[in-house]
Structure 1
């Protein structure tokens, strides 16, 4: 045993570079301080009333990783009886731009939990309450989207915490009652987000144990917070469906960001490199640290600062007028991040985009695609995600087309789904007897006709559209083959902040 001060513990936990052994001990202590009182609470509640059930209210999974949370042990402590009740965080508290508010935090929470579940996300409307926090339309949209990832209901917080009750919520009851039949019809499908198709976003609930704190980071626990949702937020805006995975999968592309890879051993990394792996800048740096540059087609790299390059842009090197409408489509680079990595590609690597100065001089590859000796394909990108003005600068029609074309090129048989030409949020989930397709319009524009591109084989079963009364109707959607994959066309208007649901029967 050793007597230490609080400051000594903090300095050790947050030491730059490879984690100090004390960090694991500290996180284990925190794990115990959650599990033990949770178990005692459950026992006390059961003694008082055996029919009372406990539910878990949670926040952001990357924050809970900093607490040493063991999700499955916490579930066991609180009890299932017969399903585990959870109220995951459903941002935002106050209405903002819907296209930048996908429910990836909610979905990552659900991914961390073992089944069976009763899922009732937090539909917050505070602190001002009523339409001064969120419009009725926005509130309803969150309910409409919640069933796409398996929610069984919703937890509604409609009070202003000042004793006024629901007096400020006039009209909400009518708005929330209108889609009830539709929501119930989707819930009956038994959707489980563990069966979500599309791209796979890799995560680890234990990432805070392995994260390397930056020498320049503040000496606070927030230095251990990972950005596990970087790619999921980006994919949602790009109109590409996805699901979260805890281990490598071989049937679809795997996206990894920030320092998530530090939580995985060499065997798991090799498994990832054997499939299709998409890396942001920190992930590329980690793979080179581990001596795997030869597996990703990057010989070396160094840091770069975009702000030193005036108004830098990114150009698609293999663009064609047939695909993009332009021979050399360009996208903003300077607003996407302050820092980039300058990658030196291997001779047989394919440079798909190039960062350039305003004078059109080459700076560095923006995207490298490399097929390695394991038979896998690795996509390396120059940006970290979510920094600077990322959500202003990164997204446009060319980046959407670039990513969608690339994924269907690399994974033609995967069960991908993408919204063509328009930034709709899309879901594709396997059911016991077919597939579910969910579409959300997060923009303020009416979509007169919806076009979806899907990977895999053209289905033989019928496609049904859910109407506003909760009935599944045939003949409202059509499917046709494409050179790669197939597409669904729905000639029905999709209003702003509304949803469309399709069912493909086996």
Structure 2
């Protein structure tokens, strides 16, 4: 343990914004704690637990702090959560950071409540306060009100011009606060201070219009800034969720400047093994380390007022997992890059999405991770940036320019039914090989089964799989030269359209189109070994003459991650299923397996017996021992 990060007025000890008396008490307490920790040889950082505040939870503004509250889209006013546009709160928060900067911490963190979404009890969040509306009125030169703003930014169809301007108003307000905090910290600190930003899911920040480039620039001091990316849950989850966690770590590499200090938080709430087990804590630590993070911030001790001696098992846990984490850190530097099927997404998608009903801020939420989850769960390695082969699902298809879409269509591209409808509306229907004739809704038609029509998909003709759980399915037919790999049929066995088609277009690209709305209803796709075969065969088809991504079979929810740099290549497979598995890893462009290791939760790295099968263009590696739940296989490949 090299460092302690002190929380300021956190969780149970938070009663809303700090009064002047509370501020002085906390300052003296933190100062004393920092001195003791530094005398023990530890570095110290500080995390004020609240900026605008996460949620009210019975808290109130102190009488001396007459802050303007956040206001929800429906007009609900917060009682302890401040508006980003409130000048009194802005002075308060910059003064707070300036005051504690005098103590010269390594990093001063900004909590993830530095956001507009998720401020209970507000519906969705804020800030539709009068002060924010005044800023917006100055921008557009028109008097307006909250109801009109909400109605226009959520207007169905083509986005109203106000949406982009409203999101810019929000973004600029945040950036101004960030600059004010930065200036206060820089002015009051006598050391070389670093500001760090904790963030939430990128889909939610997209709804807020966050400008990541400008925000990190606003927080940078002497070219240095830190990031605490969100990537995993507070408590024990399901191993299949690790695919999304890996994708979230990878995608956030694209939003921060080079050289950013990256220190994810391994969250545990409401603390102890009753919330998150040692094994699940370890797998999250290991995953962050695999992605080359600089440090791990561990939520292990309850904040309700305990000492380390109250939980001796935490020290034993840290001792047990240190060797494996040090091993990962040695072999997985931040310079490694993921390789695989590209996932197409953009942080600004919410500005472009066409809403259907126009009643909820959630309609602006882009589909960013559904393709990543689906491909990883079927054993296909991914990268969270465009590549030679890509996947683009759901409403995110509205985001990209015609030129960008054309470039995607020149390679290999898998799109779902929602993206296909958008492509067709935008004039690209002839290049995707299908005609989208609208939707069958669940209670309007008895679609039921997906049936294999073409053995080229890797599964025998006539094999059937469930498609009964989707709320809607596209009425889709292939155009000439498109090949219908699977068909949609009713419970009576009547064909009612294509379910999956592949097509080589006039640009030389290859497309695969699913009739299912995977961007919004990915959970409704019933997974099975045969769908895995079809998806992996589809990826091979999309690759054409180019090498396809690494794939893995041998069990359910085996997540592959292909890391590479120059002539170094390290392939990771994580078992997210409770059942032990013997992974079979297909590695295009692989020449030789140099070594295989197995990492078990809390255990030391151990050799993993494996055999290599060589084929023209690559190798296949078969593990000869079962890989248990939450264990990691690492293959070093030349």
If the length of structure 1 is used for normalisation, what is the TM-score? Answer: 0.90
Of 371, 376, 380, 1:240 maps to: 380
Of 109, 115, 126, 2:252 maps to: 109
Instruction: Tell me how far apart the structure 2 counterparts of residues 231 and 168 of structure 1 sit (CA, whole Å).
Output: 44
Q: CA shift at 1:217, angstroms?
A: 4.1
Would you say 1:458 and 2:590 are equivalent positions?
yes
Q: CA shift at 1:94, angstroms?
A: 2.0
RMSD of equivalent CA atoms: 2.6
SS at match of 2:165: helix
SS at match of 1:344: strand
Asked if the contact 1:191–1:429 (Cα under 8 Å) also holds between the matched residues in 2, the reply is no
Equivalent in the alignment of 1:60: 201
The structure number with the bigger radius of gyration is 2
Deviations, residues 432-486 of structure 1 (Å, cap 9, x unaligned): 4311111111111222x3210122x23257345367887796x944432346743
Distance 1:166 1:384, change over 3 A: farther
Asked if the contact 1:227–1:257 (Cα under 8 Å) also holds between the matched residues in 2, the reply is yes
Equivalent in the alignment of 2:131: none
Would you say 1:278 and 2:424 are equivalent positions?
no
Distance 1:308 1:9, change over 3 A: closer
Aligned length: 491
Would you say 1:354 and 2:487 are equivalent positions?
yes
Would you say 1:229 and 2:353 are equivalent positions?
no
Equivalent runs, 1:408-423 vs 2, <5 Å: 408-411=540-543, 413-414=546-547, 416-422=549-555, 423=557
Distance 1:313 1:167, change over 3 A: farther
Deviations, residues 100-145 of structure 1 (Å, cap 9, x unaligned): 3430333322332232233222211102x11221111111111122
Q: CA shift at 1:57, angstroms?
A: 0.2
SS at match of 1:231: helix
Of 412, 425, 433, 1:297 maps to: 433
Distance 1:332 1:172, change over 3 A: farther
- Structure 1's unaligned 5+ residue stretches are none
Distance 1:176 1:111, change over 3 A: farther
Of 201, 204, 207, 2:346 maps to: 204
SS at match of 2:394: coil
Equivalent in the alignment of 2:452: 316
Equivalent in the alignment of 1:30: 170
Equivalent in the alignment of 1:445: 579
Instruction: Tell me how far apart the structure 1 counterparts of residues 434 and 300 of structure 2 sit (CA, whole Å).
Output: 52
Instruction: Tell me how far apart the structure 2 counterparts of residues 12 and 82 of structure 1 sit (CA, whole Å).
Output: 39
Deviations, residues 138-175 of structure 1 (Å, cap 9, x unaligned): 11111122223222332212244433466775523323
Asked if the contact 2:394–2:520 (Cα under 8 Å) also holds between the matched residues in 1, the reply is no
If the length of structure 2 is used for normalisation, what is the TM-score? Answer: 0.72
Asked if the contact 2:345–2:368 (Cα under 8 Å) also holds between the matched residues in 1, the reply is yes
Instruction: Tell me how far apart the structure 2 counterparts of residues 147 and 366 of structure 1 sit (CA, whole Å).
Output: 40
User: Which segment is superposed worse, 96-105 or 365-374?
Assistant: 96-105
Equivalent in the alignment of 1:47: 187
- Structure 2's unaligned 5+ residue stretches are 1-140
Instruction: Tell me how far apart the structure 1 counterparts of residues 621 and 551 of structure 2 sit (CA, whole Å).
Output: 10
SS at match of 2:331: coil
SS at match of 1:130: coil
Of 218, 224, 227, 1:86 maps to: 227
Would you say 1:400 and 2:532 are equivalent positions?
yes
SS at match of 2:194: coil
Instruction: Tell me how far apart the structure 2 counterparts of residues 310 and 101 of structure 1 sit (CA, whole Å).
Output: 34
